[in-house]
Structure 1
Amino acid sequence: MGTKDPSKAPDDDVHVVPIEDSIDLHFFAPRDILSVVDEYLREAQRLGFVEVRLIHGRGKGVQRSRVQDLLTRHPAVVRFGSDGLGSTVVELAPRKDQKNRSGHEASADPRTHGVKRDQ
């Protein structure tokens, strides 16, 4: 009684980050970057953000390359591009229940933006 099991101690590596329109990835271990970006994008989309900035730094471009590779296949991402200053600007698809600018429901496929494609 009274002693705590160290195996049940809180994880010291857990970071709680407020969701804002940008995230600085310098504060995370390189091994965690992709999972951080994935979770950040999902939460930013859920909160209704339409554009976010991922700050990865200039350097040799290793982190930028890894992050942008993830963005090419991420379901929340419509498009993205480097700003030339060490970050990538990402346009997010609207949530399925979120109205787009014309007041219509967002399409089921976020990449179509409500445009009907030829069958």
Structure 2
Amino acid sequence: MADAHPHPDDDAPPVRIPIDGVLDLHTFRPSEVKDLVPDYLAACRERGIASVRIIHGKGTGALRDTVHAVLRRTPGVLGFAVADAGGGGWGATIVDLVPREKQATPLRASTPRPLL
């Protein structure tokens, strides 16, 4: 589980979010999404969860657009799409994550090869 503050101005203690592949954004403010989504996805990858459902609701689509913008620039995201009708339709997004073991490793400094 991860700690999150659904409303940081409140004096309430942080809420424990289960890292189970489903993130419901209904209890969070839109301003929190930009940090929350990448952190949650990183926690899922650490646990070997390769597919995540983010529930953003249907509404006007503004939160969905924000989530999609965040996903486009989040490392470790293989792809994403609006969920099918059984998964929430356009009120949810399914995210496919790069498996943890497939993550690119940093290049190591090596001795240059002699030119032939």
Fold conserved between structures, TM > 0.5:
yes
2:104 alignment partner in structure 1: 108
1:32 alignment partner in structure 2: 32
Whole-Å separation in 1 of the counterparts to 2:77 and 2:29: 23
Q: How far off is 1:40 after superposition?
A: 0.5
Q: How far off is 1:34 after superposition?
A: 1.8
Whole-Å separation in 2 of the counterparts to 1:34 and 1:87: 16
Stretches of structure 1 that go unaligned for 5 or more consecutive residues are: 1-10, 99-105, 110-119
Which 4+ residue blocks in structure 1 deviate beyond 2 angstroms?
Answer: 11-15
Name the one with the larger helix percent: 2
Stretches of structure 2 that go unaligned for 5 or more consecutive residues are: 1-10, 84-88, 106-116
Equivalent residues in 2 for 1:1-119, closer than 5 Å? 12=12, 14-83=14-83, 84-95=89-100, 98=101, 106=102, 108=104
Q: How far off is 1:61 after superposition?
A: 0.3
Whole-Å separation in 1 of the counterparts to 2:14 and 2:27: 12
Q: How far off is 1:90 after superposition?
A: 0.2
2:112 alignment partner in structure 1: none
Asked if 1 retains the 8 angstrom alpha-carbon contact of 2:76 and 2:98, the reply is yes
Q: Which amino acid aligns with 2:37?
A: V
* SS of residue paired to 2:75: coil
Whole-Å separation in 2 of the counterparts to 1:88 and 1:66: 12
Q: TM-score, normalised by structure 1?
A: 0.69
Name the one with the larger strand percent: 2
Q: Deviations over 1:10-59 (max 9, x none)?
A: x6363221101211100112221221111100100111011010000011
